[in-house]
């Protein structure tokens, strides 16, 4: 009778090494694919976030511009021709990092402590303006040394909004910090990483009123403003592109205001026209 020999199967060292190499290649490919997808997703979400931020702020400004010059019938508050200008645009200066707009309109308030509630007229001023951002910049421009601040190194700003009410007794605007009114506020920051904010006053013929009407210039055209063109440019918080190159964003009617910088940031510019539907109706 023949003796049965048991055969023992297994893998060799070479086969194990080949398996490890193949597994490593597959894991590297999966990791690379994950990084690409994750990076693309981050870029898409960052772009959407920046664009949404710009649209939200511009939408807020549009609503207030539409209220400019509005007054209730029988409004008994005396009109101050200097301080009650419906739309007052102050252009960018050395001390004003971007354009500023003051919007004035009438409102009505009811005293609910009486029966029936007693109505009273109010005059409201909404202001949008910029200041250099105070956030520390973690990605200063090439060649910069020292202790960087965004407002200094990048020229990035913060948009602020304020709401004040008219005090007929003193013939001036109330200080919202001391007026005891929970509807007013001062210097409320809206959004950071703003590159520029531009306002243009446009008449019924579509022509830009330059300089914008104020108490000292073009006063006869205060109620001629029919449209306010708005440009808002927002910058990404972190580096967005892989390579550094010159990136240009055009401005409204002023080439000196165009953004021309060499970096890796993403910039989104929103341009809209807000119709001042109440001006010229008084």
pLDDT digits (tens, 9 = 90+) for 203-242: 999 999 999 999 999 999 999 999 999 999 998 888 888 8
For the four alpha carbons of 26, 27, 33 and 36, in that order, the dihedral sign comes to: negative
Calpha distance 240→45 (Å, rounded): 11
The per-residue pLDDT for range 31-51, each reduced to its tens digit, is 777 776 766 666 667 667 777
For residue 181, being part of any structural domain is answered with yes
Instruction: Please tell me what DSSP assigns to residue 64.
Output: H
* Confidence grade of residue 22 (pLDDT, cut at 50, 70, 90): confident
Q: What's the confidence (pLDDT) of residue 270? A: 92
Instruction: Please report the pLDDT score of residue 18 as a whole number.
Output: 86
The structure's pTM equals: 0.81
Q: Does the residue 59 lie in any domain? A: yes
pLDDT at 8 over 80: no
Residue 25 is assigned to a structural domain of this protein: no
- Within-domain flag for 9: no
Per-residue pLDDT of 46-76, as tens digits, reads 667 777 888 899 999 999 999 999 999 889 9
Residue 157 has pLDDT above 80, yes or no: yes
243-260 pLDDT, tens digit per residue, is 888 888 888 888 889 988
Where in the sequence is the domain holding 120, given as residue range(s)?
Answer: 30-275
Domain-located, residue 4: no
- 198 domain residue, yes or no: yes
Give the model confidence (pLDDT) of 123-136 as tens digits: 999 999 999 887 76
Whether 18 is covered by a domain: the verdict is: no
Please tell me the predicted confidence (pLDDT) of residue 140.
Answer: 55
The whole-angstrom separation of Cα 50 and Cα 44 is 10
pLDDT of res. 211: 93
* Mean pLDDT along residues 256-273: 89
Task: Give the number of domains in the chain.
Answer: 1
Distance, in Å, from the CA atom of 128 to the CA atom of 59, rounded to the nearest integer, reads 13
Name the burial class of residue 11, with classes exposed (0-12), middle (13-18) and buried (19+) by CB atoms within 10 angstroms of its CB: exposed
Q: Are 72 and 108 contacting, i.e. CB atoms less than 8 angstroms apart? A: yes
**62 found inside a domain:** yes
* CA–CA dist 144, 228 (Å, integer): 38
% residues pLDDT > 70 (the chain): 84
Instruction: Say how many residues make up the chain.
Output: 282
């Amino acid at each position: 009778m023949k003796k049965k020999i048991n055969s023992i199967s297994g893998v060799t060292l070479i086969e194990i090494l080949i398996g490890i190499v193949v597994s490593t290649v597959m894991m590297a490919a999966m990791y690379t694919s994950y990084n690409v997808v994750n990076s693309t997703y981050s870029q898409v979400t960052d772009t959407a976030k920046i664009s949404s931020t710009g649209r939200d702020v511009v939408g807020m400004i549009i609503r207030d511009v539409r209220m400019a010059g509005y007054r209730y019938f029988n409004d008994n508050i005396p009109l101050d021709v200097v301080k009650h200008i419906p739309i007052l645009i102050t252009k960018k200066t050395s001390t004003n990092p971007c354009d500023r707009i003051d919007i004035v309109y009438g409102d009505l308030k009811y005293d609910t402590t009486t029966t029936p509630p007693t109505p009273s007229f109010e005059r409201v001023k909404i202001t949008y303006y910029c200041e250099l951002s105070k956030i520390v910049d973690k990605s200063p421009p090439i060649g910069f040394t020292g202790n960087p601040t965004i407002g200094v190194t990048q020229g990035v700003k913060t948009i602020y909004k304020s709401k004040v009410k008219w005090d007929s007794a003193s013939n001036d605007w109330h200080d919202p910090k001391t007026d005891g009114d929970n509807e007013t506020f001062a210097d409320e920051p809206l959004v950071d990483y703003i590159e520029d904010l531009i306002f243009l006053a446009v008449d019924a013929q579509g022509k830009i009123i330059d300089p914008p009407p104020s108490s000292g210039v073009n006063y006869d055209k205060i109620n001629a403003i029919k449209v306010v063109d708005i440009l808002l440019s927002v910058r990404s918080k972190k580096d967005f592109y892989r390579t550094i190159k010159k990136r240009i964003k055009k401005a409204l009617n002023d080439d000196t205001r165009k953004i021309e910088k060499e970096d890796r940031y993403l910039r989104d510019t929103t341009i809209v026209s807000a119709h001042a539907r109440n001006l010229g109706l008084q």
